[in-house]
């Protein structure tokens, strides 16, 4: 097939139905994918980066308003130096290679996490793409980098405690909305769906506050093998769920 035909190929489409507004993905299993093939973990991460591109455009083409990808946790800093360095290099290259796709598709890029720990060159590229894509409206792509849910909640508590100490806020005035305003996700729609690949049934410190009423879907597929059809299966599973938010089924279904 000629390159033009490939580029003109229609994007894979979800069956008609409701689409979650905000989907977050725990992209897990790069290491096991590589091990299964006798490759190095680093090769697994490189393959995982390709899946990020496919899923980003698939989400955008199918009307998802916000896609949040867990790319590197606070705890991942404790991996061997070689692996951390490789992941930072991949991220640096990703931000260069995907820049045109992000801008051409009207995607806004955001980074969530303790970004001050990232290498300066990665931070600079992130900031530039965040700024250059700031007015894009088709979808928000958030990369959770150097991110931890507990760390996010602790930072929010510290910020509020400073206001209390300064006499600006009464302890009794602290409510969910105030905490929410200190979360990295404050400008994003409420989280509808968390997908985790590689079969692990845990959140691994991802979006702990935001996950309160998100639906969880776990697939055994390893992240480098995660493509549009697995993504659509996860969304179909989400569609079959009844989100009750503490109410009864009858209340949610209405008269
Ligand atoms: C996910 O794949 C990528 C990151 C956490 C950065 P892993 O590297 O965790 O792969 P497994 O879980 O060891 O297979
Ligand atoms: C979660 O995966 C972090 C990312 C996908 C970035 P991990 O591989 O770090 O999680 P655990 O260690 O299996 O809980
Ligand atoms: Mg893992």
pLDDT band at 1 (very low <50, low <70, confident <90, very high): very low
- What tens digit of pLDDT does each residue of 23-35 get? 999 999 999 999 9
- In this prediction, residues 81-107 reach a mean pLDDT of 97
Q: Write out residues with Cβ below 6 Å of ligand 2.
A: 26-28, 70-73, 76, 200, 202, 204
Please check whether residue 171 lies inside any domain of the structure.
Answer: no
Nearest-angstrom CA–CA distance, 196 and 219: 6
Classify residue 10 by its DSSP letter: P
Beta-carbon neighbour count of residue 118 at 10 Å? 20
pTM: 0.96
- What tens digit of pLDDT does each residue of 41-60 get? 999 999 999 999 999 999 99
> How far, in Å, is the centroid of ligand 3 from the Cα of 171?
39
Residue where the block lists tokens 């390159």: 3
pLDDT at residue 3 greater than cutoff 80: no
> How far, in Å, is the centroid of ligand 2 from the Cα of 166?
38
> How far, in Å, is the centroid of ligand 3 from the Cα of 130?
27
Which of 25, 26, 27, 29 is the best mutation target for the ligand 1 pocket, counting ligand atoms within 8 Å of the beta carbon and taking the most?
Answer: 29
What domain count does the chain have?
A: 1
- What tens digit of pLDDT does each residue of 234-253 get? 999 999 999 999 999 999 99
State the CATH number of the domain containing residue 56: 3.40.1180.10
Instruction: Give the domain range for residue 101.
Output: 21-148+191-240
- In this prediction, residues 163-167 reach a mean pLDDT of 98
Nearest-angstrom CA–CA distance, 23 and 1: 33
Please check whether residue 248 lies inside any domain of the structure.
Answer: no
Phi, psi (degrees; rounded to nearest 5) at 175: -140, 180
């Amino acid at each position: 097939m000629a390159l033009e035909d490939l580029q003109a190929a229609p994007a894979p489409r979800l069956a008609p139905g409701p689409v979650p507004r905000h989907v977050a993905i725990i992209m897990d299993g790069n290491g096991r994918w590589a091990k299964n093939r006798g490759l190095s973990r680093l090769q697994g991460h490189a393959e995982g980066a390709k899946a990020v591109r496919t899923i980003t455009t698939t989400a955008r083409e199918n009307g998802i308003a916000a896609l949040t990808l867990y790319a590197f946790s606070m705890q991942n800093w404790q991996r061997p130096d070689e692996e951390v360095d490789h992941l930072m290099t991949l991220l640096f290259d990703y931000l260069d290679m995907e820049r045109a796709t992000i801008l051409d598709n009207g995607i806004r890029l955001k980074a969530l996490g303790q970004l001050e720990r990232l290498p300066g060159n990665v931070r600079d590229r992130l900031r530039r793409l965040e700024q250059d894509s700031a007015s894009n409206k088709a979808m928000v792509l958030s990369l959770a980098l150097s991110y931890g849910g507990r760390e996010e909640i602790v930072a929010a508590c510290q910020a509020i405690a400073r206001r209390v100490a300064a006499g600006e806020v009464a302890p009794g005035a602290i409510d969910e909305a105030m905490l929410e305003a200190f979360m990295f996700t404050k400008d994003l729609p409420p989280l509808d769906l968390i997908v985790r690949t590689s079969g692990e049934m845990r959140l691994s410190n991802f979006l702990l506050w935001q996950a309160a009423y998100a639906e969880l879907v776990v697939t055994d597929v390893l992240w480098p093998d995660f493509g549009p059809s697995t993504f659509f299966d996860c969304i179909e599973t989400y569609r079959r769920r009844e989100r009750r938010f503490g109410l009864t089924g009858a209340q949610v279904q209405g008269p």
